[in-house]
């Protein structure tokens, strides 16, 4: 069948739906564990997408059957908001987070922050995780405590909110990153970054943060 596969947008939309393009009738539906914000990428009969629980799913595009699922990141409030991109049988999944917001909501009593933006690569045929590349190389370490005794960690942030751009000619993919959540300052914040398509190795970073935010 010729199917149009998409996610249902809305405040609690957890469904991926396939419509028959000839009739407009729903052919199958799949419910994710969490809400879906990004796209559904389809290649070679496999539909791949992520949810706001940082879960990655692959479905049989014709039947909606679950082929595999993986938790891309376990840090609380991690999520997938940027579009999944499939190239040459590999799904590139950008990971973002609301950890700093969680800290604010909890009146700054939540330890902040330990999350680093990343991209995870999967073989779409079997769900094997090929690699995971972080935007910030340095693992977060204990910076100290706030006045109320809450632990602080850094550097953190530089999340990947948006889609990945593939550069097949150069063997690279590009991402843009968000702000830092905690110090010390890193070039990966508010930047454009290039990674190797096959290995995920970081090739270059162009920091774009203005001077008042610690940029160059």
Q: Identify which of 119, 113, 79, 99 has the alpha carbon closest to the alpha carbon of residue 201.
A: 119
Mention every residue, 6+ apart, whose C-beta is less than 8 A from residue 72: 50, 54, 55, 56, 78, 80, 93, 95, 118, 120, 132
Beta strands in the chain (DSSP E): 3-7, 15-20, 26-31, 41-43, 46-50, 55-60, 66-71, 78-79, 85-87, 90-97, 118-123, 129-134, 141-145, 151-154, 156-157, 165-167, 172-176, 180-182, 191-196, 202-207
Q: Identify which of 48, 2, 59 has the alpha carbon closest to the alpha carbon of residue 25.
A: 2
* pLDDT reading at 213 higher than 60: no
* pLDDT reading at 215 higher than 90: no
- pLDDT, tens only, 117-142: 999 999 999 999 999 999 999 999 99
pTM of the model: 0.93
Whole-angstrom distance, CA of residue 182 vs CA of residue 42: 36
For range 179-184, the mean pLDDT: 92
Q: How far is C-alpha 106 from the geometric centre of its chain's CA atoms?
A: 24
- Res. 208 pLDDT band, cuts 50 70 90: confident
- pLDDT, tens only, 81-116: 999 999 999 999 999 999 888 777 766 777 889 999
Count CB-CB contacts under 10 A for residue 145: 11
Task: Report the mean per-residue pLDDT for the chain.
Answer: 92
Count CB-CB contacts under 10 A for residue 168: 10
Phi-psi label, residue 49: left if phi above 0, alpha if psi -120 to 50, beta otherwise: beta
* pLDDT reading at 47 higher than 80: yes
Share of the chain above pLDDT 70, in %: 94
User: What pLDDT is attached to residue 147?
Assistant: 87
């Amino acid at each position: 069948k010729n199917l149009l596969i998409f996610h249902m947008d809305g405040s609690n939309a957890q469904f991926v739906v396939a419509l028959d393009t000839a009739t407009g009738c729903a052919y199958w539906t799949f419910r994710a564990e969490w809400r879906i914000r990004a796209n559904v990428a389809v290649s070679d009969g496999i539909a791949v997408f992520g949810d706001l629980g940082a879960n990655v799913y692959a479905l049989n595009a014709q039947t909606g059957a679950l082929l595999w699922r993986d938790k891309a990141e376990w840090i609380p409030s991690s999520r997938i908001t940027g579009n999944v991109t499939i190239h040459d049988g590999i799904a590139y999944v950008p990971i973002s987070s609301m950890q700093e917001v969680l800290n604010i909501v909890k009146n700054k009593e939540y330890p902040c922050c330990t999350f680093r933006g990343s991209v995870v690569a999967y073989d779409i045929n079997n769900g094997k995780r090929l690699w995971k590349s972080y935007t910030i190389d340095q693992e977060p370490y204990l910076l100290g405590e706030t006045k109320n005794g809450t632990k602080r960690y850094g550097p953190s942030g530089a999340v990947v909110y948006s889609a990945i751009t593939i550069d097949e000619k150069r063997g690279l993919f590009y991402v843009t990153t968000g702000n830092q959540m905690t110090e010390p300052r890193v070039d990966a914040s508010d930047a454009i970054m290039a990674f190797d398509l096959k290995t995920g190795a970081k090739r270059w970073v162009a920091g774009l943060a203005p001077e008042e935010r610690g940029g160059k």
